[in-house]
Amino acid sequence: MKKKLSIKLVVISMAMMLYTCAAVNNLHPLILIPGTGGNQLEGKLTSDYKPSSLLCKRREGKWFRLWFDLSVLLAPLAKCFVDRMTLYYNPVVDDYHNAPGVQTRVSHFGSTQSLLYLNPSLTLKHLTEYMAPLVDALEGIGYVDGKNLFGAPYDFRYGLAAEGHPSQVGTKFLQDLKELIEEASNSNGGKPVILLTHSLGSHFALQLLNRNPPTWRSKFIKHFVALSAPWGGSMEATLTFASGYSLGVPFVNPLVVRDEQRSSESNLWLLPNPKIFGHSKPIVVTQSTNYSAYDIPQFLIDIGFPQGVYPYETRILPLIQNITAPKVPVTCIVGKGVKTPETLFYWESNFDKQPEILYGDGDGTVNMRSLLALESLWAGEENQRLKVIRIEGVSHSSVLKDKAALDELLAEISGINYFQVTTAVV
């Protein structure tokens, strides 16, 4: 009896080992797309660069770390950082561009390397950790960087625009991402790809899917997993435009970086979506005016940023008015139960001062109504699978490192891969 039991255990053990090997070998290739500020960014200066201070001088023609750089933390150098990161909208060509004399690039496209730490130097590596815990977790179930695990860094200051409007940098990223998806699939036996995004990266992924035909999606996309996706924008973006945002870093003066943050094309994309936030509840309250999400153009004027109105109304609003279902399986993993800015109060109507804040539910950065927007927008949508996983107490960024969040994510990724293996056997 004991001998028969022993043989049975050996058989079960061997079967499990064979399944594990099969599962690892049959992992669908996975591509990580980061959120705002979620990858390293490099800069280079040309003779056209005019520094605003002698402190901003740097040798021309040499690439240097633009994001994340220690200079943003140092008051005398923060202005240099702002000068180099600021974008400019050109109404003649209807597109955004860098400051004169500033060139930028992302490094290691296709690899996860620039997503792990925003600054890999010994002094800042662990302080700027981003996707390193997530990548470690994925490698723990068999993923290998450059083989079946890839990264798609991009210049997160740029966004996309509605049809009929150019968006050279953002559109180029979508093309590069499409080619990466095809290469990842082709190099992994033709298996379709899992897209795993964080925050703003979710918007880019959804736009890519909806800008390509169903036949392409069916061939190359297995599943779309979105972490902390701000489908309806966020109130934090509203605060950023009004009073600046310190990036959560001590000693950073929000007003010093405010103009640079306002210039970011992608930040306009993250303002509260009128369709999601509605008319009834104000998002900003002053002594004289209550602003709803439908009043954002007037809000931009009143905070002293009228130059943002035209691109917002012509490039952004048409883009966010219809969040189309891509007809590929989608899973959203979101945090909840973290106090999140809901309404901003400027009692003195002075946007140079930080507001009093009424908090609501969300992940600390994105409001719950935005995180869950797809549930209502795609309700009853035919041929659209949508799964939403809510995790109590997990914040916008800790979803990339919190154990409970990573366990949920790994279970979802393993399930997506397991489904492929079992259906192939059947």
- Catalytic residue numbers, as ranges: 199, 363, 396
The answer to whether 42 and 69 have CB atoms below 8 angstroms apart is: no
The angle, 0 to 180 degrees and rounded to 10, between the axes of the packed helices 403-425 and 2-25 is 100
Nearest CA among 130, 108, 170 for reference residue 37: 130
**Radius of gyration for the chain, computed over Cα atoms and rounded to the nearest angstrom:** 23
Give the number of other Cβ atoms within 10 Å of residue 108's Cβ.
Answer: 15
Smallest CA-to-CA distance from 30 within 175, 220, 207 is with 220
Smallest Cα–Cα separation from 92: which of 305, 311, 301? 311
What number of other Cβ atoms are within 10 A of residue 241's Cβ?
A: 25
Q: Which residues pair with 196 in a beta bridge?
A: 32, 225
Rounded to whole angstroms, what are the CA distances from 334 to 35, 252, 328, 422?
14, 28, 19, 28
10 Å CB burial of residue 39 (0-12, 13-18, 19+) is: buried
Rounded Cα distance between 86 and 367, Å, is: 27
**In the numeric block, which tokens belong to residue 78?**
């923060």
Q: Which of 245, 290, 252, 293 is nearest to 267 (CA)?
A: 245
The two beta strands, 290-291 and 284-286, are: antiparallel
- For the beta sheet containing 64-67, the strands, ordered from the edge strand earlier in sequence to the opposite edge, are 64-67, 41-45, 102-105
CA distances from 68 to 103, 118, 134, 142, 344 (A): 16, 5, 19, 30, 29
Dihedral angle sign, alpha carbons of residues 273, 275, 276, 279: positive
Contact 235, 283 (CB under 8 A): yes
| Residue 193 bridge partners (DSSP) | 221
